[in-house]
């Protein structure tokens, strides 16, 4: 008996198709385009100093450059050199091209800045330069020169203030904070730093209390090159601005602008001197008055009716530092005048040609305050 073999084509064809499909799937190669890295990086960032160079730490993942500045290096600006990827250009934050042939513009110490690097294909990357001060290890200790322990120091605005402390650097990058004891508001724009001088055992810092500072009682704190400290309380006050004397070469025509500037930041024999420091607030009027007893020369045609007369000076504009007025209509010619020698404003009471000021009641300064005058001669053109 013979056995017949039967072939079911469906049973053979379907598995065969699956095997062929699997083979093709395993051998197929998918081509992926190569992503070329854009050449828009900063490769090197260096700061020039008197003692060498500081290398910026470049982080291309976060696009930052961190510059660590030792406290003892006296820098006011960062003078940097930069190296870019080949073919790349440097732009400012506005997207304007920076010409590196002349070098980078110096960056003020303490001010972070941004740069944009553009590759030859136009791809851009933005970097932030971050400054960090490596502070001194000892705590900052500072006190006011001339202050009495237990007594609040009083200072007029528009004056100098000296401090002594372990600054350990002549770098003037410092910040002061004045917290108003009445309102609680903190001000950081009352002073500017004049200089720091090394001394033994401590350094001396001189600061300018600006004419725009507000009168009041304040808690004071400061920071210098990464270190912070609290200072004793201080009271700031307003005193009248003193333009002082006009020199013997003074010449004015009627209607000509005349500038009366308040004296400030006074020094006497190298020491801080506050008697003449002041500002203008609550100004109402300025006038000229002549005292016959102290005038020795007048021009032809001068009328004696002008003596002891309040001759107004039209105010053009004024702020805390200066008053701009128009010179009054006086007869042309030369005037000779003098004053009670040995005195200075505001203690002078007798002068041939003096400039007087009227102030609002809130100032408590009153009217007819003699703050300026002609020292010897005046010519009216």
Kindly indicate the confidence band of residue 5, based on its pLDDT and cuts at 50, 70 and 90: very low
pLDDT of residue 31: 53
Residue 13 lies in a domain: no
pLDDT in tens, 116-135: 999 999 999 999 999 888 77
298 vs 333: CA distance, rounded Å = 7
Same domain, 193 and 249: no
Assigned domain for 278 exists: yes
CB neighbour class for 204 (10 Å; exposed up to 12, middle 13-18, buried from 19)? middle
Instruction: Quote the distance between the C-alpha of residue 157 and its chain's center.
Output: 17
Do 256 and 362 share a domain, yes or no?
yes
Q: What is the pLDDT of residue 110?
A: 79
Alpha-carbon distance of 66 to 137, in angstroms, equals: 21
**The last residue of a domain, from among 84, 112, 134:** 134
341 and 284 in one domain? yes
Question: In terms of domains, do 179 and 202 share one?
Answer: yes
Q: Is residue 1 a part of any domain in this protein?
A: no
Mean pLDDT of 11-27: 50
Say how many domains are in the chain: 3
CA–CA dist 190, 337 (Å, integer): 39
If asked whether residues 126 and 188 sit together in one domain, one would say: no
355, 327 contact by CB (below 8 A): no
pLDDT, residue 76, reads 77
Q: Residue 210's domain is classified under what CATH number?
A: 2.60.40.10
Q: Name the token pair of 332.
A: 């042309």
Beta-sheet strand order (sheet of 159-165): 142-144, 159-165, 203-209, 191-197
Report the C-alpha gap between 176 and 181 in whole angstroms. 16
Distances in whole angstroms, Cα of residue 301 to Cα of each of 21, 249, 288, 327, 369 = 123, 22, 19, 19, 29
HSE-up of 371 (CA within 13 Å, CB side)? 30
CA distance 234 to 68: 34
Residue ending a domain, among 134, 168, 193, is: 134
- In a domain? residue 314: yes
In-domain check, residue 256: yes
Tell whether 128 and 153 lie within a shared domain: no
Task: Judge if 251 and 373 occupy the same domain.
Answer: yes
The answer to whether residue 22 is domain-embedded is no
265 and 371, same domain (yes or no): yes
Q: Which single residue is written with the structure tokens 């020795």?
A: 296
- 138-190 per-position pLDDT tens digit: 899 999 999 999 999 999 999 999 999 999 888 888 999 999 999 999 999 99
271, 363: one domain: yes
Q: Is residue 209 part of a domain?
A: yes
Shared domain for 120 and 164, answered yes or no, is no
9 — pLDDT class (breaks 50, 70, 90): very low
pLDDT at 1: 43
Pair of tokens at residue 173? 């990058």
Question: Which of 134, 167, 198 is a domain's end point?
Answer: 134
Is residue 158 located within the same domain as residue 55?
no
Give the domain range for residue 299. 244-380
Please name the residue that has the structure tokens 């934050």: 93
- Taking the CA atoms of the chain, what radius of gyration do you get in angstroms? 37
Determine the pLDDT at residue 37. 82
Residues 149, 100: one domain? no
The DSSP 8-state label assigned to residue 56 in this structure reads -
Tens digit of pLDDT for each residue in 306-363?
A: 999 999 999 999 999 999 999 999 999 999 999 987 788 888 989 999 999 999 999 9
Which H helix or E strand runs over 231?
Answer: strand 227-237
In a domain, 186, yes or no: yes
pTM given for the model: 0.75
- Phi, psi (5° rounding) for residue 86? -60, 130
CATH number at residue 121: 2.60.40.4120
């Amino acid at each position: 008996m013979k056995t017949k073999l039967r072939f079911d084509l469906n049973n053979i064809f379907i598995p065969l198709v699956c095997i062929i499909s699997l083979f093709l799937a395993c051998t197929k190669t998918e081509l992926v385009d190569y992503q070329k890295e854009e050449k828009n990086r900063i490769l090197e960032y260096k700061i020039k100093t008197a003692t060498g160079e500081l290398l910026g730490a470049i982080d291309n993942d976060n696009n930052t450059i961190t510059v660590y500045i030792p406290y003892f290096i006296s820098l006011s600006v960062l003078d940097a050199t930069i190296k870019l990827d080949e073919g790349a250009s440097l732009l400012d934050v506005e997207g304007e091209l920076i010409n590196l042939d002349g070098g980078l513009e110096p960056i003020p110490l303490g001010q972070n800045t941004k740069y944009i690097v553009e590759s030859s294909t136009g791809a851009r990357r933005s970097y932030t330069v971050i400054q960090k001060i490596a502070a001194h290890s000892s705590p900052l200790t500072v006190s006011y020169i001339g202050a009495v322990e237990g007594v609040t120091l009083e200072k007029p605005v528009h004056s100098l203030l000296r401090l002594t402390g372990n600054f350990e650097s002549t770098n003037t990058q410092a910040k002061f904070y004045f917290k108003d004891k009445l309102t609680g508001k903190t001000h950081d724009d009352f002073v500017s730093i004049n200089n720091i001088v090394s001394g033994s055992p401590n350094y001396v810092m001189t600061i300018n209390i600006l004419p725009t500072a507000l009168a009041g009682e304040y808690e004071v704190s400061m920071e210098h090159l990464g270190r912070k400290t609290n200072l004793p309380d201080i009271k700031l006050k307003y005193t009248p601005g003193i333009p002082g004397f006009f020199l013997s070469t003074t010449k004015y025509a009627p209607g000509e602008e005349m500038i009366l500037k308040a004296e400030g930041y006074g020094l006497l024999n190298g020491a801080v001197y506050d008697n003449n420091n002041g500002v203008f607030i609550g100004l109402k009027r300025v006038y000229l008055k002549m005292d016959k007893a102290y005038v020795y020369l007048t021009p032809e045609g001068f009328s004696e009716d002008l003596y002891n007369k309040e001759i107004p000076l039209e105010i053009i504009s004024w702020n805390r530092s200066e008053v701009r007025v128009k010179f009054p209509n006086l007869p042309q010619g030369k005037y000779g005048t003098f004053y009670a020698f040995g005195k200075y404003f505001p203690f002078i009471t007798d002068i041939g040609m003096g400039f007087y000021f009227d102030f609002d009641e809130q100032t408590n300064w009153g009217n007819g305050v003699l703050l300026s005058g002609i020292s010897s001669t005046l010519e009216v053109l």
